């Protein structure tokens, strides 16, 4: 599409240009850049691009708010990080959390989309409910779930009335808290996936499903062979969105667990970067963590995107 | 959205199964939402005692307490949130539409490379850049100011704006702009009178999504506005959390009031939310 437009535009370009008009064109192009491109780019350069370069720069130094002199230390921060058990724990925590966040809302969101893929006021109302958490702030979601999952909270009260005497510490048991955080994030992100899958489901032609039914395909076969392949673009969007969101999980940890219970059982890399950079003021070390985080996000999400898009094409 | 009307064989055999399952699943999913709504209208001591009970008789004490806090946490936060969100999204819509136009209509290697660098910004987590951002804001004396917060928002969210606008701008035939410029309209006038009005759906998406994101943003205002420069409603809920042991009711009131504008906004503009989200899903 774009390529086509480009070629069309090429053929329209005048073949002969006088020196005067090309000078005027150049001046007008500069005006176009300064008027249209530059203002937006300036903000991006100041608050994203320059900080990114600075982060990379800091990561090779021992920059620290409590040290008077900043020295170039090469790869020291990176070497130290990779051998640091706390950082390795945070990598493990982030990986588990990201896996939960990529899988649970994707699967549950699809199930809900299939369930609600019908006309009528009832289904429209129910679809609305599922999207509400998406527009809520994660701080609000965190506070509500904390009230539910805290020791002796609502869930324990309900379980107690059903005869469960010693419910697990959903947020206080170091071996469970991480899964609770994953659950909370999944609850908030589910509605996003549902809406995207519903749009995909509507793109599945009815006659294709009917033809499959006439050929004797059962419900499951129809879903597996007809519907599911056609949901490939929706799967790509959801997976990549969830992946990027999962990697930077911070809000739930900051509001609910502060990285605990115990030491670092829910401390994600994103949480570690903020702790190291703003609480411990170790700018250099925080920057090295940030750079590693960005590399992981960039590599993993572009590989996943590539794989999923190849799958779409093979359809 | 109009889901399929054709009824499955199984739906025809037992027509009550699907609505029943749908209702039960939604009810379970909505328990946390129900809890917020009922506990806002319940006296504080009942919240911990019987959190799931229906608030009867309802009380407005929690809302009043949240509104009348001596530190004015809610009203200050509301004002800051409203200002930051409104200014940020208006500036973002204007600048990203223009930047998107520039990058789509310029056929130079520079423009192409810039578009790539810009779109890469879509996946940069804020944590990766916040440490240097704070240094830059200190240097320019914008740290802990609303202006600084808005400036950061514009820089950080402009990739999303350009991403949305670029798709739309490409679908507008360039002949339209050429015709306008033949009629003597300059670039500026052509853009604002011919192109921008055609971008209305993209503008709506940008305003809606960025509005919700910026309103709900937690980490960026927490760091950039800091403890002295005031707070937003979202960060306000977090700040009130520290004292919740003594006053659960007020916390729920505050939370309800903080979320209310976005939720009302969502109910009013539901169709646009869905359209904005699914434009990409359908196109692939």
CA B70 → CA A148, A238, B83, distances in Å? 29, 44, 22
Separation CA B122–CA B160 (nearest Å): 6
> A135-169 pLDDT, tens per residue?
999 999 999 998 889 888 778 888 888 888 888 88
φ, ψ at A61 (rounded to 5°): -125, 170
| pLDDT recorded at residue A7 | 35
Say yes or no for a CB contact (<8 Å) between B129 and A250: no
| pTM across the whole model | 0.88
pLDDT in tens, A17-60: 455 557 767 777 888 888 898 999 999 999 999 999 999 999 99
Q: Please report, for chain B, the start and end positions of each structural domain, with discontinuous segments joined by +.
A: 79-279
Q: φ, ψ for residue B141 (rounded to 5)?
A: 60, 30
Distance between alpha carbon B58 and the CA centroid of its chain, in Å? 31
Residues 6 or more apart whose CB falls under 8 angstroms from that of B42 comprise B53, B55, B58, B59, B62, B249
In chain B, whose CA is at the least distance from the CA of A249? B125
Cβ-defined contact of A55 to B266 (cutoff 8 Å): no
Residue labelled with tokens 């673009």: A233
Compute CA distances B43 → A172, B38, B68, B81, whole Å.
27, 10, 16, 28
Establish whether the linkage from the previous residue to A51 is cis, with ω within 30° of 0.
Answer: no
* DSSP three-state, residue A61: strand
Using a CB–CB cutoff of 8 Å, tell me whether A255 touches chain B: yes
Query: How is domain B79-279 classified at the CATH fold level?
Result: MetI-like fold (1.10.3720)
Which of A9, A38, A44 would best serve as a mutation to test chain B binding (most B beta carbons within 10 A)?
Answer: A44
Q: What is the pLDDT of residue B245?
A: 60
Find, in chain A, the residue whose alpha carbon is nearest to that of B18: A115
| Closest residue in B to A300 (Cα–Cα) | B123
Residue B1 confidence class, pLDDT cut points 50, 70, 90: very low
pLDDT tens-digit map of B138-195? 999 999 899 999 999 999 999 999 999 998 888 888 888 888 888 887 888 888 988 8
Burial class of A102 by CB neighbour count within 10 A (0 to 12, 13 to 18, 19+): buried
A158 touches chain B (CB under 8 A): yes
Asked if A72 has any chain B CB less than 8 Å from its own CB, the reply is: no
Exposed / middle / buried, residue A175 (Cβ in 10 Å: 0-12, 13-18, 19+): exposed
Which domains are assigned to chain A?
Answer: 87-314 (1.10.3720.10)
A61: which strand partners? A72
N-to-C CA span, chain A: 20
User: With contacts defined as CB-CB under 8 Å, which chain B residues touch A47?
Assistant: 129, 133, 136, 151-152, 154-156
């Amino acid at each position: 599409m774009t390529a086509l437009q480009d070629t069309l535009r090429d053929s329209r370009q005048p073949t002969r240009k006088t020196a005067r008009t090309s000078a005027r064109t150049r001046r007008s192009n500069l005006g176009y850049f300064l008027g249209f491109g530059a203002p937006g780019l300036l903000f991006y350069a100041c608050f994203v691009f320059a900080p990114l370069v600075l982060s990379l720069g800091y990561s090779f130094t021992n920059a620290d708010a409590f040290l008077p002199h900043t020295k170039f230390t090469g790869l020291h921060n990176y070497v130290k990080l990779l051998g640091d058990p706390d950082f390795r724990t945070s990598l493990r925590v982030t990986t588990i959390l990201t896996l939960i966040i990529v899988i649970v809302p994707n699967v549950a969101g699809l199930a809900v989309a299939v369930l609600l893929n019908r006309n009528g006021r009832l289904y429209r109302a129910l679809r609305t409910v599922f999207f509400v958490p998406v527009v809520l702030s994660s701080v609000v979601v965190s506070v509500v779930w904390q009230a539910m999952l805290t020791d002796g909270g609502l869930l324990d009260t309900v379980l107690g009335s059903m005869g469960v005497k010693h419910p697990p510490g959903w947020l206080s048991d170091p071996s469970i808290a991480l899964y609770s955080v994953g659950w909370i994030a999944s609850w908030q992100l589910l509605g996003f996936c549902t809406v995207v899958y519903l749009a995909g489901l509507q793109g599945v032609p009815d006659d294709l499903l009917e033809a499959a039914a006439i050929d004797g395909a059962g419900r499951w076969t129809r879903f597996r062979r007809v519907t599911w392949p056609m949901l490939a673009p929706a799967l790509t969007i959801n997976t990549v969105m969830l992946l990027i969101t999962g990697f930077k999980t911070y809000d739930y940890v900051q509001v609910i667990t502060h990285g605990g219970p115990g030491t670092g059982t829910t401390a994600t890399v994103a949480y570690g970067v903020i702790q190291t950079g703003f609480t411990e003021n170790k700018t250099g070390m925080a920057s090295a963590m940030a750079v590693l985080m960005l590399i992981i996000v960039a590599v993993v999400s572009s590989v996943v995107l590539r794989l999923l898009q190849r799958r779409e094409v093979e359809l | 959205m109009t889901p399929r009307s054709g009824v499955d064989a199984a739906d025809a055999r037992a027509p009550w199964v699907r609505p029943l399952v749908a209702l039960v699943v939604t009810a379970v999913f909505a328990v946390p939402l129900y809890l917020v709504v009922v506990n806002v209208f319940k006296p504080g001591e009942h919240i911990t005692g019987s959190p799931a009970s229906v608030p009867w008789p309802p009380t407005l004490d929690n809302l009043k307490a949240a509104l009348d806090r001596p530190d004015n946490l809610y009203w200050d936060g509301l004002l800051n949130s409203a200002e930051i969100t409104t200014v940020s999204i208006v500036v973002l819509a204007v600048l990203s539409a223009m930047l998107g136009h520039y990058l789509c209509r310029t056929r130079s290697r520079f423009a192409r490379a810039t578009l790539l660098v810009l779109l890469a910004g879509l996946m940069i987590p804020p944590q990766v850049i916040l440490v240097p951002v704070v240094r830059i804001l200190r240097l320019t004396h914008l740290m802990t100011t609303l202006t600084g917060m808005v400036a950061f928002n514009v820089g950080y969210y402009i990739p999303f704006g350009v991403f949305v606008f670029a798709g739309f701008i490409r679908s507008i035939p360039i002949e339209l702009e050429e015709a306008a410029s033949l009629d003597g309209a300059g670039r500026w006038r052509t853009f604002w009178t011919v192109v921008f009005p055609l971008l209305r759906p993209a503008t709506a998406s940008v305003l809606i999504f960025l509005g919700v994101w910026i309103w709900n943003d937690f980490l960026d205002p927490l760091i950039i506005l800091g403890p002295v420069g005031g707070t937003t409603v979202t960060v306000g809920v977090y700040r009130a959390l520290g004292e919740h042991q003594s006053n659960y009711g007020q916390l729920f009131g505050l939370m309800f009031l903080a979320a209310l504008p976005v939720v009302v906004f969502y109910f009013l503009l539901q169709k646009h939310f869905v359209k904005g989200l699914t434009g990409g899903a359908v196109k692939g």
